[in-house]
Structure formats: structure tokens, C-alpha cells
Amino acid sequence: MPAVATGLRATARLRATHNGRTTTVPLLHSDGPFHLRRLRPQGERARVCVLGAMSAPLGGDELELDITAEAQARLEVTTAAATIALRGATPDPATYDVRLTVGEDASLNWLPQPLISTHGSSLHQTYRVDLARTSHVLLREEQLLGRTAEPPGHLSTRLTVTRAGRTILDQQTVYGPRGPAWDGPAVLGGHRATGQLLLVTPGSKARPAPVLLGDRLHGYCVLAPLAEATALLATAVAPTLAGLRRLLSTALTHAVGTKQSV
């Protein structure tokens, strides 16, 4: 009997703590395609980069990334390159689950490079963000649907955010040949890059009105508050990843009142 192709299973873990003076990273566990490397800190903020040690996610892969910033810790996590979803040896979809846990008075910036959905791939990605009442978080999520001159694969993403045990955001999007017309006027309107930026800043009491940024040529971004005034969500579509990043940076600048880039 021929061997049945199965995917890779891997879980990487990262934990940051505050020792009373600065943030340290006592747990840095790499696994499978994830290689975690410490970067030079920026002020009090510890920084870690996720390097890709092999091609992933492929069809059938089950990947998990578990990141915790304990009380008063300051942490930024990024990736060295884009994550590319590829067709695997099995038709089963790949899964990529990211869990972010942020403690009291802690701050976490999750700023990965984009996810690229290639033709023939199938990926289910989930983000679970668990915040304490005084947690700060800045989360960027970007997708490119297909490489140059190719249609995308099947991509579903779900983002769930809880604050002090209460759900403040739970949304799911599905793109690709098995979903609705992803490039139609009711979805991306011909754009290939899409993404969002989540900003949670405790202490904010004013509830700003939603703002529309951009134009027909360069793409659009909507910046709007969630049910709680402490959280803002920017959602953008653009022709290119560079244009998408500019829109998200503009939204962050509008939200905090000073020039920012992400």
C-alpha cells in the first residue's frame, strides 16, 4: 500500500516577562518552520523575529504560534518574510493558528509580513487575542490574493478578540475560488491586497466617528471604533501590498494624532 501523505505539525511558543526593570524573554521555543530569534530591543520593548526555516504552510500542515506578554511586559513580534500558502502533497487544507495573550499593563505589537495565498493552496488561519482590562495591543494583518497574474487559493481567516473575558471582535472572511467572487464589487472591487489594523488603548473614553481614507486609484481604508471605545479597527483594500501598508499607516496616524508607520 502506498504511504498516505500527511502534513507537518508544529507549535512554537514565546513568553515575555517584566523583571521590574525591563522586559525579558525567558521562553523562546522554536519548532518546525518557526525559528524564533531575539532582536535588539527598542527602549523598554523586547523584540523577536519569526524566521521561516522551511516552506510552510503546505496543504495538510497544522501550525501554531503561541505568544504571551505577561503583566507590564513590552513586546514586539514580527516576521522576516512573507508567509506563503502553497499547494501540498495532500488536498487537505493547512491550518495556521496564532494565539496572543496580553497581561495587565502589558503591551504587544504583532506586526508580521503579509500572507500570500497562491493558486491551488488552501489555508484556514485563525487569530485568538486574549487581553486583560489594561492591555495594549497593535495588530497588523495583511493578505495578498495570488501572486502576479495568478488567481488566489482558498483562504479563510478569523480574528477573535476578547478583553477581560468579553468578546469585542469576532469576524471571519473567506476568499478564493470556493467562496463568493472575491474580486467583485461587493468584496474587493478588483483589488488584490487586503488587511486590517487593530489598536486597543485602555483609558480612551471618547468614541470617534468612522473615517473613510484613500481614493479609487490607491484603495480605501475605513477606520472605525468597536463596541468599546478602547478599540479601533482599520480595514483596507488596495491594488498592491505597498499601497495597503500606506493606508494602514495613515489610519494609525489618524488614530493617534502623530505620524506613524507600521
Task: List, for residues 159-191, the tens digit of each pLDDT value.
Answer: 999 999 999 999 999 988 755 566 666 567 778
DSSP 8-state code for residue 230: T
Residues 23-48 have a mean pLDDT of 95
Of 229, 227, 168, which is closest to residue 202 (Cα–Cα)?
229
- On the question of pLDDT at 48 being above 70, the answer is yes
More confident residue, 209 or 241: 241
Strands of the chain, DSSP E: 9-18, 23-29, 34-42, 45-52, 62-69, 74-79, 83-85, 94-102, 107-111, 115-117, 122-131, 136-145, 154-163, 166-175, 193-200, 211-215, 219-225, 231-238
Q: Is residue 178 part of a domain?
A: yes
pTM: 0.91
pLDDT at 78: 97
- On whether residue 217 sits in a domain, the answer given is no
**Predicted local distance difference test score (pLDDT) of residue 1:** 44
Q: Which structural domain range is residue 182 located in?
A: 9-202
> Is-contact 140 195, C-beta < 8 A?
yes
For residue 192, being part of any structural domain is answered with: yes
Mean pLDDT, residues 96-123 taken together: 96
Question: Does residue 27 belong to any structural domain of this protein?
Answer: yes
Q: Which burial class, exposed, middle or buried, applies to 225 when counting CB atoms under 10 A from its CB (0-12, 13-18, 19+)? A: middle
Residue 207 included in any domain? no
Q: Does residue 251 sit in helix, strand or coil?
A: helix
Answer whether residue 208 is part of any domain: no
pLDDT at residue 259, rounded to an integer: 79
When mean pLDDT is compared across 7-16, 152-161, 201-210, the lowest value belongs to 201-210
Q: What pLDDT score was predicted for residue 112?
A: 96
Question: Is 239 part of a structural domain of the chain?
Answer: no
CB neighbourhood size of 17 (10 A):
19
Integer-rounded Cα Rg, in Å, for the chain is 18
**Would you state the pLDDT for residue 31?**
94
Helix residue spans in the chain (DSSP H) = 241-256
Q: Which pLDDT belongs to residue 123?
A: 95
Give 53-73 pLDDT, tens digit per residue.
777 899 999 999 999 999 999
- How many structural domains are present in the chain? 1
Percent of the chain with pLDDT over 90: 71
Residues in the chain: 262
Q: Which helix (H) or strand (E) holds 228?
A: none
144, part of any domain: yes
As a whole number of angstroms, the distance between CA 217 and CA 86 comes to 30
State the pLDDT at residue 229: 67
